Amino acid sequence: MTRGSRGALVLDEGAVTSVAAVRVDAVDTSGCGDAFLGALVERIAAGEPLVGAVRRAVLVGAYAATRRGAQSSYPTASDLDAWDAESGREVASAG
C-alpha cells in the first residue's frame, strides 16, 4: 500500500514491512503512481523479492516527482543509479 510522503507498507507472507519514503523537492507529481507501479511490476517480473521491489519502486516514484511531465519523468536504470549515487540515497537492487 502506497502512503505518499510516508512511503509504503508491504504485506508479504504475513509480515508487514514499512518502506520509507524518499524525500525530494517535488516539481510535478503527475505520473508518480504509474512510475511506482511500472517499477514494481518490472522488479517482480525480474524475480526480485517483494520488499526489494517496493523499495526500488518508491525510489522510481520519487525520481519521477523531481521532473516535469508524466512519462518524460520516468528514469532509465542508469539514470536512477546516477541520481542515487549523486544524492547518497540507497537504491534497491537493480537486478
Catalytic residue annotation: 34
DSSP 38-93: HHHHHHHHTT--HHHHHHHHHHHHHHHHTSSSSGGGPPPHHHHHHHHHHHTPPPP-
Report d(CA 40, CA 34) in Å as an integer: 10
27: which DSSP letter? S
- CA 28 to chain CA centroid, Å, is 15
